[in-house]
C-alpha cells in the first residue's frame, strides 16, 4: 500500500520545498555543470572525469552507479511512471533530489527532496522556460529540459550535455504508454526500461522545441549549453568532443572553431562533386556530413538542393526546414524554402515568406529583387511534378517556415523573450484544444509583429 499524505501535510511539505529551493538560487553562479542523459552512448565514454564535475542525473541513472564508480551531484525525475516504479531506488540515492510534486503520495520521508510543481504544457501562468522553479516548471517532454531550468536557477554559466543521444530504436506514437517486452536498446543499461517496465515513448519533435527554448534563454543571458554526446543526433546545440573538453581540458572556443572548419572542408568537397554533375556522390557525401555533424545547417540545405534536383520534393522540403530549424537566421535556408513553394506554384506563400524575411533585413537586394519579380508576375505557374509536395505538406511546411523566419527576426532584434514564446507555436502535442487555441493566438501575434498587422 502506497504512502499518502493529508492536505495539511501536503501544504507544509510544499512550503518547505520552496524554502529549500531558495537556498539553491545562484549557488553555482559562473560555474560549469554536466547534465547526464541516459542514452547508450554513455557506454562508449570514459566517465571518470565526472568525479571532478558538478552533474545532474535523472530517472534510472542509478543503474550505472556501481559500474561508473560515481554519483551525480543532483538527481531529477518528473515522469510519473518512472517515479512510481523506481521510488524505492530513488530514495536511496544520497544526493539532493528534485521530484515532481505528484510523486508526493509515494514518499514517506521527504528529507533531501525538493518537490517541483510541473506541467505537461505551459500556459499563461506557466512560462515556457522557468527562471524560478519555485512557482511552476514546464517539463518540455524530457527531464533533460527540467534539469536545464534548474541549472539556470542555480547560476551555471555553462551546461554540457552527455548521453543525450536523441535517438530511439523503439518507435511508435509519441508519449504513448507501453509495457516493455524485453531488454531496453534505447538506454545505457538493458534493464533501464526492461521487460515488464511501463514507460512513455519519446517525443523527439516536441522535445526539440523545448531544447530550442532553453538555448535561446541561456544565450540571451550570455550563458551557453554545449552538446558533448558521442555521435548524438540532437542538432540544437553547439557540439564538442567530451575528451578534449574534460580530459585534455582544451578551451571550448578552440574545439568549436576546429569543428566548424572540418565541417566547412567536407561541405566544400561535396559541393565540388555536385559542380562536376556527380549528384549521387555529392548527396552521399552530404548525408555523411549530416550523420557526423548533425548541427551542420548548410549540409541539410545542400542535401535539400540535391534532392530537389532529383525530383524528390518531399525530402528536399524536409531538409530545408531542418536547416532553418538549426539556423533560423539563414539567408540560404529562407531562399531554398521559398523556392519549394515556387515549384509548387504557391507564389502567394512565396511572397509572404519573403515579406516576413524582409522585416529582418529590408536592404537585402537579392530578396527584394525576387519579391519584386513575384509581385509583377501575372500569376503562378504550377510546375510541380511527380514526387512533389502534397497539399497537406504545403500547408504544414508553410506554417513552420513562417514561424521559424519570424523567430529569426526576433532573435536578431534581440527580443529573446518573444522568440521563446513563439517557439511554443511549433509544438505538435496531440489532442490539446488549449494548445490549438494558443497556437492560433500566437500565429495572429506573429503576423502582427512581422507584417504590420496584415495577416
What would the mean pLDDT of 347-369 be, rounded to a whole number? Answer: 83
Measure the CA–CA gap between 160 and 209, rounded to whole angstroms.
18
What would the mean pLDDT of 354-379 be, rounded to a whole number? Answer: 73
Distances (CA, A) of 395 to 177, 267, 349, 389: 30, 31, 10, 10
Residue 385: which region, alpha, beta or left (left: phi > 0; alpha: psi -120 to 50)?
A: beta
What's the pLDDT at 396? 82
Measure the CA–CA gap between 352 and 42, rounded to whole angstroms.
45
Report the predicted TM-score, pTM, of the whole model to 2 decimal places: 0.89
Q: Is the per-residue pLDDT at 335 higher than 50?
A: yes
Measure the CA–CA gap between 356 and 404, rounded to whole angstroms.
10
DSSP string across 210-237: HHHHHHHHHHHTT-EEEE--TT----SS
Confidence grade of residue 383 (pLDDT, cut at 50, 70, 90): very low
Is residue 214 within 8 Å of 148, Cβ to Cβ?
Answer: yes
What's the pLDDT at 434? 64
Pairing of strands 32-36, 177-179: unpaired
Residue with cell 555533424: 293
What's the pLDDT at 454? 45
What would the mean pLDDT of 309-317 be, rounded to a whole number? Answer: 90
What's the pLDDT at 266? 97
DSSP string across 310-322: TT-HHHHHHHHHH
Quote the percentage of the chain above a pLDDT of 70.
87
Quote the percentage of the chain above a pLDDT of 90.
61
What's the pLDDT at 343? 81
Per-residue model confidence as pLDDT tens digits over 192-221: 999 999 999 999 999 999 999 999 999 999
Per-residue model confidence as pLDDT tens digits over 180-196: 999 999 999 999 999 99
Measure the CA–CA gap between 132 and 143, rounded to whole angstroms.
17
What would the mean pLDDT of 412-425 be, rounded to a whole number? Answer: 88
Q: Is the per-residue pLDDT at 302 higher than 70?
A: yes
Mean pLDDT of the chain: 88
Residue with cell 534532392: 307
Q: How far from each other are the two terminal CA atoms of the chain, in whole angstroms?
A: 57
Q: Around Cβ 254, how many Cβ atoms within 10 Å?
A: 10
Confidence grade of residue 358 (pLDDT, cut at 50, 70, 90): confident
What's the pLDDT at 37? 98
Confidence grade of residue 111 (pLDDT, cut at 50, 70, 90): confident
What would the mean pLDDT of 327-339 be, rounded to a whole number? Answer: 90
Q: DSSP state, 51? A: G
Is residue 175 within 8 Å of 141, Cβ to Cβ?
Answer: yes
Per-residue model confidence as pLDDT tens digits over 3-54: 566 666 667 777 788 889 999 999 999 999 999 999 999 999 999 999 999 9
Q: Is 130 exposed, middle or buried (0-12, 13-18, 19+ CB in 10 A)?
A: buried
CATH no. of 11-250: 3.90.1480
Is residue 336 within 8 Å of 323, Cβ to Cβ?
Answer: yes
What would the mean pLDDT of 407-433 be, rounded to a whole number? Answer: 85
**45 or 362, which is more confident:** 45
Q: Is the per-residue pLDDT at 81 higher than 90?
A: yes
Confidence grade of residue 267 (pLDDT, cut at 50, 70, 90): very high
Task: Mention every residue, 6+ apart, whose C-beta is less than 8 A from residue 302.
Answer: 267, 270, 271, 274, 282, 286
What's the pLDDT at 11? 72
What would the mean pLDDT of 364-381 be, rounded to a whole number? Answer: 64
Domain boundaries, the chain: 11-250, 296-450
Amino acid at each position: 500500500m502506497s504512502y499518502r499524505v493529508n492536505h495539511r501535510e501536503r501544504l507544509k511539505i510544499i512550503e518547505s520545498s520552496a524554502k529549500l529551493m531558495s537556498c539553491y538560487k545562484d549557488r553555482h553562479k559562473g560555474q560549469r555543470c554536466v547534465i547526464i542523459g541516459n542514452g547508450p552512448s554513455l557506454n562508449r565514454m570514459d566517465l571518470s572525469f565526472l568525479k571532478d564535475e558538478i552533474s545532474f542525473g535523472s530517472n534510472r541513472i542509478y543503474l550505472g552507479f556501481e559500474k561508473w564508480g560515481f554519483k551525480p551531484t543532483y538527481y531529477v525525475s518528473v515522469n510519473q511512471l518512472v517515479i512510481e516504479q523506481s521510488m524505492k531506488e530513488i530514495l536511496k540515492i544520497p544526493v539532493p533530489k528534485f521530484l515532481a510534486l505528484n510523486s508526493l503520495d509515494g514518499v514517506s520521508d521527504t528529507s533531501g527532496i525538493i518537490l517541483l510543481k510541473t506541467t505537461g504544457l505551459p500556459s499563461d501562468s506557466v512560462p515556457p522556460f522557468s527562471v524560478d522553479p519555485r512557482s511552476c516548471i514546464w517539463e518540455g517532454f524530457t527531464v533533460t529540459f527540467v534539469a536545464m531550468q534548474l541549472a539556470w536557477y542555480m547560476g551555471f554559466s555553462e551546461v554540457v550535455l552527455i548521453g543525450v543521444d536523441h535517438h530511439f530504436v523503439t518507435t511508435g506514437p509519441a508519449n504513448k504508454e507501453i509495457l516493455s517486452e524485453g531488454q531496453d536498446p534505447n538506454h545505457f543499461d538493458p534493464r533501464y526500461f526492461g521487460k515488464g517496465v511501463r514507460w512513455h515513448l519519446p517525443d523527439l519533435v516536441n522535445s526539440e522545441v523545448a531544447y530550442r527554448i532553453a538555448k535561446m534563454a541561456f544565450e540571451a543571458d550570455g550563458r551557453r549549453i554545449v552538446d558533448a554526446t558521442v555521435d548524438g543526433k540532437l542538432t540544437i546545440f553547439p557540439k564538442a568532443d567530451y575528451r578534449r573538453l574534460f580530459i585534455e581540458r582544451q578551451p571550448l572556443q578552440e574545439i568549436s572553431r576546429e569543428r566548424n572548419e572540418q565541417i566547412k572542408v567536407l561541405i566544400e568537397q561535396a559541393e565540388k562533386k555536385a559542380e562536376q554533375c556527380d549528384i549521387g556522390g555529392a548527396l552521399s557525401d552530404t548525408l555523411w556530413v549530416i550523420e557526423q555533424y548533425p548541427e551542420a545547417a548548410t549540409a541539410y540545405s545542400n542535401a535539400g538542393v540535391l534532392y530537389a534536383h532529383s525530383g524528390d520534393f518531399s525530402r528536399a522540403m524536409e531538409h530545408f526546414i531542418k536547416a532553418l530549424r538549426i539556423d533560423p537566421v539563414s539567408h540560404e535556408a529562407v531562399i531554398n524554402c521559398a523556392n519549394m513553394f515556387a515549384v509548387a506554384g504557391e507564389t502567394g506563400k512565396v511572397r509572404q515568406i519573403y515579406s516576413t524575411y524582409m522585416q529582418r533585413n529590408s536592404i537585402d537586394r537579392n530578396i527584394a529583387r525576387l519579391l519584386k519579380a513575384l509581385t509583377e508576375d501575372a500569376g503562378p505557374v504550377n510546375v510541380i511534378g511527380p514526387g512533389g509536395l502534397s497539399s497537406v505538406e504545403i500547408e504544414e511546411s508553410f506554417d513552420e517556415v513562417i514561424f521559424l523566419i519570424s523567430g529569426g527576426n526576433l532573435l536578431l532584434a534581440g527580443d529573446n523573450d518573444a522568440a521563446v514564446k513563439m517557439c511554443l507555436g511549433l509544438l505538435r502535442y496531440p489532442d490539446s484544444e488549449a494548445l490549438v487555441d494558443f497556437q492560433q493566438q500566437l500565429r495572429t501575434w506573429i503576423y502582427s509583429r512581422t507584417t504590420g498587422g496584415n495577416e
